[in-house]
Amino acid sequence: MTTLDIDLTDVAHGGSAVGRAEDGRVVFARFGLPGERVRVQVTGQRSTLIRGDVVEVLSNPSEHRVDLVWPEAGPLGVGGADLGHVAFDYQAEWKSHVLATTLGRIGGRDLQEHFAEQGLSPRVAALPGDAETSGWATRTRIEFVVGEDGRPAMYRDSSHELMGVASFPLAVEEIGELDLFGGWRSWWKPGERVKALAPSGSDPALFVGGDVWWAPGMRADEVVREDVVVGGELYAYQVHAGGFWQVHRAAAASLIELVMRGAKVQPGDRVVELYSGAGLLTQPLAVATGEAGAVYAMEATREAVDDARANLRDLPWARTRAARIDAHALEGVNGDVVVADPPRAGLGTELAAMLGEAKVGRIVLVSCDPASMARDVAVMRGCGRKATFFEAVDIFPNTHHFECVTVVE
Ligand SMILES: C[S@@+](CC[C@H](N)C(=O)[O-])C[C@H]1O[C@@H](n2cnc3c(N)ncnc32)[C@H](O)[C@@H]1O
């Protein structure tokens, strides 16, 4: 067991605080805070860097350090709450700092200066209501694996080793109704992957082995209902229990609000939506274009497209196609507005350049990784476009993740 004693000076993208070892290598230390002198247990190393977890604060404990609400997800524990040791208010500072430095590191000085000139602030805002629970009890979806003893387990961070867990503090209270630590033990099988969900419009359910259950051996519908209220408007959705949906209980409404504010869709507009999932954004976009306009949405997952079609039943000018988005699919793409919500890897330089150069008025990019956001926006800048809107929102409290919405025109 190798340990190092170091001073932490900064924070890095990915959830670690940063310091330097005596041999000059950069140390990425999870569960540390800048200003602290800490003992780090090394969990991995290369010729240029060392990774580890803070197992002891030796001196200068940070005023922003809090006791771990979920100790099993602390140092040397399971992944999933790598900012669980950081005071809720300071998580926004941490993430804003990472966002600003990532903009510069990936997009260069030009992108940082461009954001400043455009009056765009790289700040990450907490979701309303989260301060009350310090961001705990906010997730309507949690995933785990059944351990050898039949109890819920998760993987130790960056490893294939399963560790039993005794609670899920990130889950909303309603998930407790499933009694995950009760009668399922003799029913589900070790090694099975389980998703527990508490949809806003249906009873809590468990997705395991491709089926949906509300209690051991008691089947539930394979689709659940999600109701999202934004500005007094209700958007209602069906979603396959195993399919993608935003995990934070307020994330769906927040993303609709931000995307619609940035997209400025007018009646009669032609909108192209990429990576549209079950149609979370497609529905409000179609309401905004009205029947004089059109929304063309693309999504790779068949089940999500089935959900989206059901969700757009009353808005027939919105059409969804099951298709992989690649350079071929985007050839000749055009419209008033393109909305893209890709997975963590972002659009990539090729697709970002295609969109940047396309006959499209406004591109709304939803990014769950600041590095891919900075790269994609920098590529579109290189096509002569300007960033005109930027908001970042903390839809993953107690982890290093957050979401960005950028508009490029
Ligand atoms: C971050 S989710 C966003 C979905 C939706 N906007 C929402 O918020 O619910 C990204 C979606 O992209 C889809 N996807 C990933 N790669 C894709 C590809 N190459 N082509 C089409 N869809 C893809 C996934 O299935 C997923 O539904």
Alpha-carbon distance 8 to 109, whole Å? 26
DSSP code for 96: H
Ligand 1: centre distance to CA 325 (Å): 9
Ligand 1: centre distance to CA 93 (Å): 29
Helix crossing, 370-382 with 348-357: angle to 10°?
40
Mean pLDDT, the chain, integer: 97
Residue nearest to atom 4 of ligand 1 (CA): 277
Give the pair of three-digit tokens for residue 391: 């908001």
The closest alpha carbon to 109, from 371, 348, 378, belongs to 378
The DSSP line for 320-386 is EEE---SHHHHTT-EEEEEEE---TT-SHHHHHHHHHHSEEEEEEEEES-HHHHHHHHHHHHHTT--
* H helical segments located in 157-272: 251-263
Q: Which numeric CATH code is attached to 3-65?
A: 2.40.50.140
Domain with CATH 2.40.50.140 in the chain: 3-65
Among 245, 260, 275, say which to mutate for ligand 1: greatest number of ligand atoms within 8 Å of CB: 275
* H helical segments located in 41-87: none
The answer to whether the complex's ipTM is over 0.90 is yes
Are 370 and 102 contacting, i.e. CB atoms less than 8 angstroms apart?
yes
Per DSSP (E only), the strands in 216-267 are 218-219, 223-230, 233-240
Domain with CATH 3.40.50.150 in the chain: 95-129+248-408
Give the pair of three-digit tokens for residue 66: 């809090």
Alpha-carbon distance 119 to 41, whole Å? 42
Which atom of ligand 1 lies closest to the CA of 275? 12
- Determine the 3-state secondary structure of 304 from DSSP: helix
Which atom of ligand 1 lies closest to the CA of 329? 20
* Distance in angstroms between the alpha carbons of the first and the last residue of the chain: 53
341 is in an annotated binding site: yes
Which atom of ligand 1 lies closest to the CA of 243? 27
119 Cβ contact partners less than 8 Å away, ≥ 6 residues apart: none
Give the pair of three-digit tokens for residue 140: 């309507």
The closest alpha carbon to 205, from 184, 187, 179, 178, belongs to 178
The pLDDT tens digits of the residues spanning 182-212 come to: 989 989 999 999 999 999 999 999 999 999 9
Q: What CATH class is the domain 95-129+248-408?
A: alpha beta
What pLDDT, on a 0 to 100 scale, did the predictor assign at position 262? 98
Alpha-carbon distance 243 to 292, whole Å? 31
Tell me the backbone φ, ψ of residue 92, rounded to 5 degrees. Answer: -65, -35
State whether the beta carbon of 321 lies less than 6 angstroms from ligand 1: no
β-strands 403-408, 218-219 pairing: unpaired
What pLDDT, on a 0 to 100 scale, did the predictor assign at position 1? 75
Residue nearest to atom 26 of ligand 1 (CA): 277
Alpha-carbon distance 249 to 174, whole Å? 11
Which sequence positions are flagged as catalytic? Answer: 368
Alpha-carbon distance 312 to 252, whole Å? 17
The closest alpha carbon to 52, from 84, 4, 113, belongs to 4
143 Cβ contact partners less than 8 Å away, ≥ 6 residues apart: 193, 194, 195, 196
β-strands 233-240, 270-274 pairing: unpaired
Handedness of CA 107, 113, 115, 118 (dihedral sign): negative
- Determine the 3-state secondary structure of 400 from DSSP: coil
Alpha-carbon distance 327 to 354, whole Å? 8
Ligand 1: centre distance to CA 75 (Å): 32
Give percent above pLDDT 70 in the chain: 100
Please list the pLDDT of the chain residue by residue as tens digits (409 residues): 799 999 999 999 999 999 999 999 999 999 999 999 999 999 999 999 999 999 999 999 999 999 999 999 999 999 999 999 999 999 999 999 999 999 999 999 999 999 999 999 999 999 999 999 999 999 999 999 999 999 999 999 989 999 999 999 999 999 999 999 998 998 999 999 999 999 999 999 999 999 999 999 999 999 999 999 999 999 999 999 999 999 999 999 999 999 999 999 999 999 999 999 999 999 999 999 999 999 999 999 999 999 999 999 999 999 999 999 999 999 999 999 999 999 999 999 999 999 999 999 999 999 999 999 999 999 999 999 999 999 999 999 999 999 999 999 9
CA angle 323, 253, 288 (to 5 degrees): 65
State whether the beta carbon of 237 lies less than 6 angstroms from ligand 1: no
What pLDDT, on a 0 to 100 scale, did the predictor assign at position 222? 97
State whether the beta carbon of 258 lies less than 6 angstroms from ligand 1: no
235 is in an annotated binding site: no
Q: What is the chain's alpha carbon radius of gyration, rounded to the nearest angstrom?
A: 22
